[in-house]
Amino acid sequence: MPSIQFQAEVADIFRQHHAWLRSRLLRRVSSASEAEDVAAQTFLHLTEDGGRSVIREPRAFLSTIAKRILIKHWQRQDLEQAYADTLRCMPEALALSPEEHCMLVEAICQIDRALAALPLPVKTAFLLSRLDGMRYPQIAAHMGISLATVERHMKRALLHCVACAP
């Protein structure tokens, strides 16, 4: 439970900087409601910190948090757009229900979060295998690495995905 002092500090930061943050975000997003959502998520993150961070420069601190939230938001939009593009190419008989669509988008986001923690060569090998259907020798040739390295990368990626599974 955050201390009373921390709660008062967050309330003070909110009063002093919320309007500034919202107007700053409005220049980066498409609507006022989207800017308000990101600002709210930023202050929620600040409250979840529980006072572990020392805030010397509130605007810089809030900007950093908001930027991270925006990056995640844009990555999710990119994933959803790629999925929507894929759906448009599918025959109607294969189309998913809205519930299946939500579950699939959430699964894709979960996989993306898990893969984000992996080094780029490991992630690349995994995606070439799973999305492009390449076999390990093809991946090795494509990436210019040995077959044994591809096998290590795949093992690491699969173990990481299993460890991140709910």
**Dist CA 156 CA 126 (whole Å):** 9
Query: Which position has the higher pLDDT, 25 or 161?
Result: 25
pLDDT digits (tens, 9 = 90+) for 49-96: 766 667 788 899 899 999 999 998 888 888 888 877 877 776 665 667
Please name the helix (run of DSSP H) or strand (run of DSSP E) that holds residue 51, with its range, or none: none
Per the CB < 8 A criterion, the answer to whether 50 and 11 are in contact is no
For residue 92, the model assigns a pLDDT of: 63
Q: Which two tokens stand for residue 102?
A: 């939500």
Please name the helix (run of DSSP H) or strand (run of DSSP E) that holds residue 135, with its range, or none: none
pLDDT digits (tens, 9 = 90+) for 91-142: 665 667 788 878 888 887 787 788 888 898 998 999 889 888 889 999 999 9
Question: Measured between alpha carbons, how far is residue 71 from residues 26, 102, 149 in Å?
Answer: 15, 21, 31
Q: Taking 60 as the threshold, does the pLDDT of residue 1 lie above it?
A: no
Q: Which two tokens stand for residue 9?
A: 């500090």
